[in-house]
Amino acid sequence: MPLTLTTPPVSEPVPLLETKSFLRVTNSEQDDVITAMTKAARIYTEQLSGLQLMPATWTYTDHAFGRQRNQDFRLIYLDVYPINSITAFTYRDVNNTVQSLTASDYILKSSPRPYVYPSYPNRRWPSLVDDNYFYEDSLSITLDCGYADADSVPEELKLAIKLITKFWYENRSEITVVGKAATDKGPGDQFVPAPFSAREIIMSYSNSPNPA
């Protein structure tokens, strides 16, 4: 997948105190564990839904202009939602010089699956460097993504994060949170899944034509 998270969120949609209240934890002994599990639950929710819950920057890179729909019309699919804006759009021209496109050169469609395509009337992307397959960044698009703040994140998704965190926390003797992932250390070392109720909430947003 050509999308890379270049600037991660600086805060979480569900703060520590809210998670602790949901878990009925009154002491601070497990704060680090709960914080790590809540973050992992948010990332799990984002990966399953395709949503970016908090403000973040993603960069799309590729060696070609998207998928060809007809001779002169190519769609570039951007598999993250919501996209607030494109902050940079560059490509390597036939002389291998980095050029920039402006907002008037393309149209961004944000739902149901975000994509960008050339503006009318030309409906053509510019030509890339001939040996573009040697450059993973022949095309680079910087995306400002995510809901505006924690208050803007749907309450159902916050509940899903809390349900997942609760499930992992109550089974923490078998779970170790490492970096961005929660992994099962029980028999077979299999990943501990989210509870069904949480997955149902997340998938309802993933399948929605417009999750906003």
pTM: 0.82
Going 64 to 65 to 71 to 75, the CA torsion angle's sign is positive
Who's near 170: CB < 8 A, 6+ residues apart? none
What is the rounded distance in angstroms from the CA atom of residue 61 to the CA atom of residue 1? 9
Q: Is 183 helix (H, G, I), strand (E, B) or coil?
A: strand
> Which residues in the chain show pLDDT less than 70?
1, 66-73, 112, 120-121, 130-135, 173-192, 207-212
What is the rounded distance in angstroms from the CA atom of residue 35 to the CA atom of residue 84? 27
**What pLDDT does 108 receive?**
94
Query: What confidence tens digit (pLDDT) does each residue in 18-69 have?
Result: 999 999 999 999 999 999 999 999 999 999 999 999 999 999 998 877 655 4
What is the rounded distance in angstroms from the CA atom of residue 108 to the CA atom of residue 85? 8
**What pLDDT does 31 receive?**
95
